[in-house]
Structure 1
Amino acid sequence: MSKPISPHLANGNRISLAGFAPQHFRWEQRGAVGLVTLNRPDRKNPLTFDSYAELRDLFRNLSYVEEIKAIVVQGAGENFCSGGDVHEIIGPLTQMSMPDLLAFTRMTGDLVKAMRACPQPVFAAIDGVCAGAGAIMAMASDLRVATARSKTAFLFTRVGLAGCDMGACAILPRIVGQGRASDLLYSGRSLGGEEGLQWGFHNRLAAPDELLETTMAWAAEIATGPSFGHAMTKRMLHQEWSMGVDEAIESEAQAQAICMMTQDFHRAYHAFVAKQRPVFEGD
């Protein structure tokens, strides 16, 4: 039996989301899975300055939350997210100074950093329009379930900007390859559900009326696994982008040795010997 974290450390490294009530999106906790719903269906769920910041803060805080083992992000209605709100973000941006513009673009990038840094696997449930910053949120997720009718578009060049937004030029090529990423980022065209599945951007497809159920079931399945091991896997997938092979192998050797010290590793062994299914507790 592992020792609980010292109370002195717990004060700064453990928080609970019980009672969490965000102002700019919906939040539910279903067992060990947290569900984020972008909730402006009349406008296809666009982001605002406030929702960017609140989402960033949520994903940052998830690093200190133990009871949540996986996250699902969806949009209300029949669309995922139409990107930055034209009236509430795009219009004001045209009136800002360079320091303010840089503060905004760094804030949006911080959302992606927080999604990649949180230890929980993040699932995107993608239906309908998934454009601009919405496409970036889907890209920054670990796993994506979409509908055949979904349309994912990195449409930054369509509004006179560069395709290099919020890490797109670093992350998207690693998912679909350099050539395919170049196609999407230069043209701003929509990637349909079937094509996205063929390209590896989408991991699975589901019918629209089964999308959330399918994604939540997958997230719940992952949430029963060794959460410490999952967090280590996510960290190494991210860190090894910039490593050479020898450095990566050494880093994985260290990571695996650390995981071998967990109680979950011992539980898995004893369950195997007893011909039972292990029950992981994340320690």
Structure 2
Amino acid sequence: MPGIESVLLVENENAVRTLRLNRPDVLNAFNDDLLAALVKETKAAVRDDSVRCLVIAAAGRAFCSGQDLDTVKARMADPLAPELGQHLRNLYNPLIATIRTMEKPVIAAVNGVAAGAGCSLALACDLRVAAASASFIEVFINVGLVPDSGSTFTLPRLVGMGRAMEMVFTGRKVDADEALRIGLVNQVVPDDDLPAATIKLATKLASLPTRGIGLTKRAFNRSWTVDLDDQLEYEACLQTTAGKTADHAEGVRAFLEKRKPQFTGR
């Protein structure tokens, strides 16, 4: 059986770190080892100042087919196994929360199917680059479950409540072209171009003011739960913080000196 390290590959290219799901024989379905590795490595990326953009990608012909059915069968046969809700609290929820609150940009590079919790993982990322082969399926209804791993939060915010409900209630496949049209993904590229297109975007984001991106994520995450006056005040507070960063000072200097800024993420 693969160990906890081999089910997730960690790749570094300059300031970009890629976490590559590596269970291609089962379409990168989640088991506990893969989930634990993702939780560990996303938290490590938060702490590592050399990482200024995180990419979540996958080996093989699929992004992630959701929960491994073998583990589901084993859990159903074990009367001492945690209930489904506790399993989410233990592994899935910490992963999604870390991605959503990480003050660095996170990109999902989606090839092939992203189903169930695999779809949720892609939606939790800040941006999604999809291969032409990509498809997104909220399959939970097919086994009598509700969407989890943040899908009920992220999906309606990306495509609107009506489309979100239709996708979830029917469990139908959304292909890459439709995903782009409805705002589920940011760009679609030929399959062979997915790695290069993702790294190009990630490298661009990693060269920008990381603190500014992180503070912007804070503002967007909060904006759904407050009124306009509260959000205006929050923007003012964040702007005070951003105005004290080294990257803000560098951006102003570069503008005045008519040169390209060299941001450091500080």
| Alignment TM-score > 0.5, same fold | yes
Instruction: Tell me if the contact between 1:62 and 1:119 (Cα under 8 Å) persists in the aligned partners.
Output: no
Spell out the pairing of 1:174-193 with structure 2 (5 A cutoff): 174-193=157-176
Whether the 8 Å CA contact 2:75–2:81 is kept in 1: the answer is no
Match of 1:127 in 2: 111
Paired residue for 2:39? Answer: 56
Q: 1:101-154 deviations in whole A, cap 9, x for unaligned?
A: 232021212211111122221101111111111101100000001122211111
Retained in 1: the 8 A contact 2:108–2:127?
A: yes
- CA apart distance, 1:218: 0.2
Match of 2:136 in 1: 152
Separation in structure 2 between the aligned mates of residue 276 and residue 93 of structure 1, nearest angstrom? 59
Query: 1:51-97 deviations in whole A, cap 9, x for unaligned?
Result: 1122112222322110000011111122111111111x211232355
Question: Within the alignment, does 1:277 sit opposite 2:260 as a pair?
Answer: yes
Deviations 1:20-43 (A, max 9, x none): x93421011110000111111121
Name stretches of at least 5 consecutive residues in structure 2 with no aligned partner: none
Instruction: Work out whether 1:213 is the aligned partner of 2:196.
Output: yes
TM-score normalised to the size of structure 2? 0.94
1:67 to 35, 41, 50: 50
1:170 and 2:134 equivalent?
Answer: no
Amino acid at match of 2:10: W
- Name structure 1 gaps, 5 residues minimum: 1-20
User: Matched residues in 1 for 2:232 and 2:40: separation?
Assistant: 33
Residue in structure 2 matched with residue 268 of structure 1 by the alignment: 251
Secondary structure of 2:129's counterpart equals strand
1:140 — aligned with what? 124
Amino acid at match of 1:211: L
Report sequence identity in percent: 33
Q: Secondary structure at the match of 1:282?
A: coil
2:29 is the alignment partner of 1:46: yes
- Name the SS of the counterpart of 1:205 in structure 2: strand
Q: RMSD value over aligned CA atoms?
A: 1.5
Task: Check the 8 A contact 1:128/1:149 in 2, yes or no.
Answer: yes
1:126 and 1:218 mapped to 2: Cα distance?
14
Q: Secondary structure at the match of 2:57?
A: strand
Q: Could you tell me which residue of structure 1 aligns to residue 12 of structure 2?
A: 29
8 A Cα contact 1:39 1:45, kept in partner: yes
Provide the secondary structure at the position in 2 that maps to 1:66.
coil
Per-residue deviation, residues 150-169 of structure 1 (Å, max 9, x unmatched): 11111011112123x12211
Deviations 1:4-34 (A, max 9, x none): xxxxxxxxxxxxxxxxx93421011110000
The equivalent of 2:76 in structure 1 is: 94
Q: Distance in 1 between matches of 2:153 and 2:80?
A: 24
